[in-house]
Structure 1
Amino acid sequence: MAGVLIGSILSALSTGAGALIILFIHHSVTHRFKDILLAFSAGIMMTASTIGLIPEALKIGGFLSLFIGVLLGVFTLTILEKKIPHIELDHNQYGIQFDEKAFLIISAITLHNIPEGLSVGVSYASNTGETGNLIALAIGFQNAPEGLLVALFLINQKMGKFKAFILATLTGAIEIVTSLMGFYLTAFVQGLVPYGLSFAAGAMLFIIYKELIPESHGDGNERTSTYAFITGLLAMVLIIETF
């Protein structure tokens, strides 16, 4: 219990750690840099899915549970994508009035963090404690640039730096709640663990391919973003092998 609580809090607060940077910068961040952050995050999440979640799900439940869980994860994210208003934060060329649309965008980002929190909780419910630490670490690395991008968006909507930092941090707080939900649900119903791991993997793969990679290619930085993706993947593998 202590492990999942600490892991979920640290991974969620990484959003605030990334947003904290805005308090110390005095100029706008280029699209190139944003694309690098998004692609690097995608590489980290890809490693977590393919090296952490999927092998563990196969080991515990076999291919059928993996197949069902991944499809459920993809299907759930597809529904969220259709129902939740989504505007690309990095490539929007027109100003958005905060009182009209920004609240919806913040809500959408918060809801998109739900699968990430579930991933952490379900991973800690598995018999291998290292899987939980791995996924919490990966989600934390992914949350940091996400927090920075959200905070930058809010500043662009004429919001003060400190308030933008607070709101960006709060978008990640829901991961603590959903992480605990995922942990308790799968911990007390052990047969759900491989499905939960597979569900998390499917949700993360959807986010990688549908959100992070396309948005990192939106300004002609495809080659640089590709290098960043591979760097993120290899960095995560190095961390896994080292620790």
Structure 2
Amino acid sequence: MKMTKSMETAFREDGYLMLESLFSEEEVSFILHQLPILMASETPHVVKEKNGQVRSIYGLHEINVIFEELVRVERLINIARSLLNSDVYIHQTKINIKQAFDGEWWEWHQDFPYWHLYDGMPVPRVLSVMIFLDEVTDFNGPLYVIPGTHELGMVDFEKKATVGIDGAPAYTSSLSANLEYTIERKVLSQWFRQRGIFAATGKPGTALVFHGNIFHASNCNLSPLDRRVLIITYNSIENTLTTVEKERPTFLSNRNFTPLLPVPDNFLRIGNTL
């Protein structure tokens, strides 16, 4: 896929970009075929809800050869390179799962503060590509974004006490429904009135590209339909992480800054025949 000037302009002005049919139904089906074994794994990569259901799987490119190649397909690398104006590497990969009726919310937040404060990422020259693995509707917990808020920098956080999951390190609160750095309500109210909210819905294979500093959140899944999305975070190789006192595990904060070399866009179709 080749980025157009109008696409680049829309991303720079709004902080997000919707791309319909970036992946085919066949490709999405092949990706979903990898999930059962990943969800059954009892490793720190797998984060669960309070009810025991899987909430997220992190570091997919570290533990699965299909995702190791998927993050490098040419259409994704072209998007990331065009919007970040440099070569890129993987900062983080994950699948977020909101199971029917039970999937919990993600509070209003920006991603970059976590990567800056936890991981030493210098500036928000970073973006994420969210690939819809199910149809995302108004009712199964779509991502909400407030357009233009990526230009505000890191905003004030709500003052709240958070703890790690089941006595784990404090950073694990950022993986749960009780996020540590959430946006102050007065800030949210101000920018909602000015810019409104966009709900990212679409068919499987749709992709949402969003800036590391845009305000975003998602509601609980109240529907009988699962909502599973793959999120790949690309960082500029000119924005590599600095040294921090306590590094997070590599499945949350990758410190291999080798520029990604693209693989052919037909990789998934080839792999599906193996």
TM-score (structure 2 length as normaliser) = 0.24
Greater percentage in strand: 2
Greater percentage in helix: 1
Structure with larger RCO (C-alpha < 8 A, sep 6+): 1
